[in-house]
Amino acid sequence: MSMEKKKNSKLLRFIGCGVLTVLGFIIVPPIITKISNKIYKMNSDTDKIDFDNLGPEIVKRETNEEN
C-alpha cells in the first residue's frame, strides 16, 4: 500500500472508532431505557391485584383508663 492509502485507512478507522464510541455512550443508553420501560409496562398487569385486600389493616388501639 502506498503511504497515502495507509494514512486514509488509519484516519477512517479513527473516525469509525469515534463514531462507535459516541453511539455506545450517548445514543444507545436512552434507547435501551425507553424500550425496557415499554416492555416493563406491557408485562406488569394491575388487573390481578386486589386493591381492597393489600395487607394488614392498621387500627388505632383504644386505651382503657380503668387503672
Domain residue ranges in the chain: 10-41
How far is the C-alpha of 55 from the C-alpha of 58, rounded, in Å?
9
Residue 21, pLDDT score = 97
pLDDT of residue 24 exceeding 70: yes
Residue 66, pLDDT score = 63
Percent of the chain with pLDDT over 90: 46
Averaged pLDDT, 29-52: 86
DSSP 27: I
Poorest-pLDDT segment among 17-21, 27-31, 45-49: 45-49
Exposure string of 26-45, with b = 16+ CB inside 10 Å and e = fewer, is eeeeeeeeeeeeeeeeeeee
Confidence category of residue 1, pLDDT binned at 50, 70, 90:
low
Model-wide pTM > 0.75? no
